[in-house]
Amino acid sequence: MVIVMKPTASEESIQNMVSKIENLHCKVHISQGENYCILGIIGETSKINADQIEAYDSVEKVIYVQHSFKLASRLFHPEDTIVTVDNVKIGGGNLGIMAGPCAVESEDQLLTIAKLVKESGANLLRGGAYKPRTSPYSFQGMEEEGLKLLKKAKEATGLPIVTEVMDTETYDIVAKYADIVQIGARNMQNFPLLKKVGKGTVPVLLKRGLAATIEELLMAAEYIMSEGNQNVILCERGIRTFETYTRNTLDLSAVLAVKELSHLPIIVDPSHASGKWAMVEPLSKAAIAVGADGLEIEVHNNPEQAVSDGAQSLKPGKFDHLMKSVRTIAEITDKKI
């Protein structure tokens, strides 16, 4: 349920309404704009008599929320959420460009890539220290040593760090180094992990699951937000379909759907979506044109020798070319990097 207060409602009347609802054992989420105040009600709302609420002079109207997600709903929070990481903003017309290797392999590899992607215009550094792999025999990541190298790269370039957390056991160590913790597609419905990152203060990048619906993605975000962490960024990274030519099928309509349903920023990962480096730039341009709030792109200085995902990684020169194209589209669509 959403209670829309009148623009003329006083602070006292708003607080009185909050107290009234909380006395009915419901939680109230206040969304305050320049000319509006919306009270999002969570809990057993059947106890609330909408007709009585609308009888108050300070109340504009009462709206029932049909979706299962509440805190992630645009009805609860009409304005776009902007997630700020250091001095980088994501959402609300601000683009977050996350670039770097799939996996941290060595200090030289990471520092080389970090410096080059920054020169090209990336404003966040992505890199995996803990790697979820389909095969148990594949490279699993450098773990904390990789996190330490990511910290060195941040010190050298100033780029905030985006890196994946695999489970509740390693969350605390990852959160110590990361500026954004990433929940991978395979963990989108790892509910204990969602609750763990929700109790933390580090912003979360939540990737859509391999075969997850948009509502399931938003419900996963709701798990995080319900624990207190409101700094959630969604990521469309392609879903599994019958098509086998590409690694996944990029669903750009998900960007539009999320923008309609939710206030949370959503970025696109064209690298995992396609699995082919030659498709990354065209898909990146399409993502920004359709309204995405940023990109997550794999970049490697020697993809032929990469320990993981070399086929979908751009060389630094190709990433630089991509950034020039993305800037042009960003200017046309009134977005800022």
Band the pLDDT of 131: cuts 50, 70, 90: confident
- On whether the CB atoms of residues 296 and 267 are closer than 8 A, the answer is yes
pLDDT in tens, 168-195: 999 999 999 999 999 999 999 999 999 9
Whole-angstrom distance, CA of residue 168 vs CA of residue 228: 17
Q: Which domains does the chain have, with CATH numbers?
A: 2-63 (3.30.70.1140), 83-332 (3.20.20.70)
Output the pLDDT for position 191.
97
DSSP symbol at 33:
-
pLDDT greater than 70 at residue 304: yes
The interaxial angle of helices 277-290 and 253-261, nearest 10 deg, is 30
Whole-angstrom distance, CA of residue 132 vs CA of residue 168: 14
Q: Which of these, 273, 226, 282, lies nearest to 251 by C-alpha position?
A: 273
Output the pLDDT for position 139.
67
Whole-angstrom distance, CA of residue 94 vs CA of residue 245: 33
Output the pLDDT for position 45.
86
Cβ within 8 Å of residue 6, ≥6 positions away: 57, 58, 59, 60
Mean pLDDT of 2-24: 93
- If one counts every other C-beta atom within 10 angstroms of the C-beta of residue 141, the result is 25
Q: Which amino acid is at 321?
A: H
pLDDT greater than 90 at residue 134: no
| Percent of the chain with pLDDT strictly greater than 90 | 86
Q: Which of these, 252, 253, 123, 133, lies nearest to 184 by C-alpha position?
A: 133
pLDDT greater than 90 at residue 68: no
